[in-house]
Amino acid sequence: MSSVRSLLAAALLLPLGLQLGSAQTIVVDDKTLPADNKTVAPAAEPVSPDATNASAPLLPAETVQLTDSVLANLTDLQLSNISLFSFDNGSAVAKRSLFSGCKTYPGDLLWPSQIVWDVFNLLLGGALIKTVPFASPCYQDFHNYDAAKCAYLTNNWSNYSYMHTDDPTSINAVLFEGLTCMPPAINVGETSCTVGGYPEYAVAISNVAQIQLAVNLARNLNLRLVVKNTGHDFGAKSTGKGALSIWTHHLKSIQFYQNYRDGSYRGPAFKLGSGVQAYEIYEAANQYGVTVVGGEGQTVGVTGGYVLGGGHSPLSSLYGMAADQVLSMEVVTADGRFLTTSPTSYPDLFWALCGGGGSTYGVVTSLVVKAYPKLPVTTLTYVLQTGPSVTADQFWAALRAFFEGFIEYTDAGNYEYFRIQNLGGGQYYSDMGPWFAPNMTKAQLQALVAPLFARFAEIGIDVTPTYTEYSNFYDAWKASFPLEPWGSNAIRQASRLLPRANWQDPAKFNATFDALRSVVEDGGYVIAFNIAANPKGGYPDNAVNPAWRETVMHCIVAALWNPAGSAADAKAASDTLTFDWMQRLRDVSPGAGAYMSESDYIEPNFQQAFWGSKYAKAYQLKQKWDPLGVFYAQNAVGSEDWKMSEMIMGNLPSQNSKLCRK
């Protein structure tokens, strides 16, 4: 088999012989070779599984690394393009002035020529994917029109997130992408499909060397770099026009340690690749007879943006945030190096990664999390609604009685996920689903809620509660959280972490409840959680929003509009959400915060709202670990130093525009 040297030489001398892309082969000396991670990626150096500060061995994908000696061998070839993959070597400061304007875009001098993309793909082992938008089979633009495929995409677009998380570039927050390629039956009136705010290229990552090559290329050419795991992010943080995307979805390793020791921790733990999704880790934990802290959504990437942004869970009232469970993380930093971070290895970076947000300090490749013993769970569901025998006043009185118990319920380790909506015509609806009581029997939960149901009866409302007992978290989670909608072009969301103090003072409680009621009366759709993240067992110091430690309610408010309606109506709904409805909630909770990962795309004073007193340190660490701004995402730490060049609806930064320094 040809050496890397001759492959590269052939690539540069015979660019027409390169046939990367769909075929994933390389023609060298008239021989067709597969361009996969067996032929080319071994240019990366195998690193011993325990050659770091990690107390768990590296995952297989992490033992394939780009190192100085690999690069030295490539540099020996005296090919100018190889320097594009160099680690940061201090020439950075000089470059900062060169890059003082915008990121590099197609048409710019520094934008890689096709040959550079081909060499990159060769070094990646054929893992480079040129973006073909997910909904393109509905159009002619990419010469892949396929009516049957389009019908499938259209029918499953909103209700089958598995389909989107398996695509290299499809994302949930399509509105901020710029709506440049959706099925026309959903984005009514759309007549063409463009790459728009999606990245130009994605790398289907299967090893660390590929991440290092991508980070180095992006840094050295000032390319916009994004990281996509599942694409769930509310704020379109896993997309960007003209970007190179690191797609971590295939990093699926799950390693279980029954007796893990690290620092003062003794107990079960998992080492997880950063592509692991909620349904996968819950299934594995169940098999090993343990429980892990993760979110409710089935397809959310638990070890990506979820945990980096804090991560709330049906178990948070009991155990805290997901980021509180992390014992160490492996990460590729902006200089291209691979590091183990933990409370004893680069502790400042570890602090920032635990709650500081995705796409900010580096690309995480795996993390080690604590696991807990198996737990029984009891769930409860019921519906409150107006009707022939229930007036709106009775409805609100019952809801108010429920709210009054928020401190008590979270102190008992419970989590309640419920929605409140205005059906129009003075009719209201609120479904409790589920009331999640970990470590409680049915009898214990019934005792906890008996006073509430007695109040409902006094108010004159008769609800039909359904209790279900489960012997473990997995069965309870699986039965309680259906797959959630995805990819709407006619919704905006925002949220507030309402503090416990608002429950402890009767006047504040009234003001809080009345503000929320007024928002629903005016058309806001509330998706809320009675949840606390201040567990009895304590929590580590990390970059998690301190507002999480004070809250008993994470309250998401959505504004929806008719997708076939006028642009003015959409803009009015969007602005009402941020500047009217959410202002009412901010007014009753001055100094509190909001959860970045489920937040307003244009949250006012986002630094304070998402990180509070932790922001100054988080920002200082951003300067230390990413001085060139290799990583960027909307509302991420340090993002105030950048701006998108165009707006949607006049005030929503469009990911389908250029990213420039302010």
What angle (nearest 5°) sits at the alpha carbon of residue 461, between those of residues 459 and 463? Answer: 140
Binding-residue total with ligand FAD (CB under 6 A): 34
Contact flag: residue 238 with ligand FAD (CB under 6 A): yes
- Indicate the residue among 507 and 564 with the shorter CB distance to ligand NAG: 507
Exactly one of 103, 228, 370, 517 binds ligand FAD (CB under 6 A); that residue is: 228
Backbone angles phi, psi at 115, to 5 degrees: -65, -35
- Give the contact letters, 254-293, x = binds to ligand FAD (CB under 6 A), - = no: --------------------x-------------------
DSSP character string of 385-415? E-BTTB-HHHHHHHHHHHHHTHHHHHHTT-E
Is the separation of the CB atoms in 621 and 348 below 8 Å? yes
Closest of 46, 126, 53, 636 to residue 340, by C-alpha? 53
Contact flag: residue 518 with ligand NAG (CB under 6 A): no
Q: What's the longest Cα–Cα distance across the chain?
A: 86
Contact flag: residue 296 with ligand FAD (CB under 6 A): yes
Exposure letters 8-42 (e unless 16+ CB within 10 A, then b): bebbbeeeeebebeeeebbebeeeebebbbebbbe
CB of 302 to ligand NAG, least distance (A): 20
The stretch near ligand NAG (CB under 6 A) out of 65-73, 100-108, 191-199, 266-274 is: 65-73
Closest of 94, 66, 74 to residue 11, by C-alpha? 74
Contact flag: residue 69 with ligand NAG (CB under 6 A): yes
Is the separation of the CB atoms in 161 and 490 below 8 Å? no
Burial of 605 (0-12, 13-18, 19+ CB in 10 A): exposed
Q: How many CB atoms lie within 10 A of CB 635?
A: 21
Kind plus residue range of the DSSP H or E element containing 226: strand 225-228
- Indicate the residue among 226 and 318 with the shorter CB distance to ligand FAD: 226
Contact flag: residue 115 with ligand NAG (CB under 6 A): yes
d(CA 610, CA 59): 32
The residue sitting closest to ligand FAD, measured at its beta carbon, is 358
Exactly one of 237, 492, 496, 614 binds ligand FAD (CB under 6 A); that residue is: 237
CB of 274 to ligand FAD, least distance (A): 4
Residues between 128 and 167 with contacts to ligand NAG, criterion CB under 6 A: 151-152, 155-156, 159-160
CB of 15 to ligand NAG, least distance (A): 9
Contact flag: residue 346 with ligand NAG (CB under 6 A): yes
Strand partners, 269: 257, 370
Contact flag: residue 480 with ligand NAG (CB under 6 A): no
Residue 538 zone, left/alpha/beta (φ > 0; ψ -120 to 50; rest): left
The stretch near ligand NAG (CB under 6 A) out of 69-77, 169-177, 556-564, 601-609 is: 69-77
Residues between 323 and 342 with contacts to ligand NAG, criterion CB under 6 A: 339-340
Q: Site residues (CB under 6 A) for ligand FAD?
A: 172, 226-234, 237-238, 248, 274, 295-297, 300-301, 304-306, 308-309, 311-312, 358-359, 363-364, 484, 597-598, 633
Q: Site residues (CB under 6 A) for ligand NAG?
A: 12, 37, 45, 52-53, 60-61, 64, 69-70, 73, 80-81, 83-84, 86, 89, 91, 115-116, 151-152, 155-156, 159-160, 206-207, 220, 318, 339-340, 345-346, 439, 483, 506-507, 510
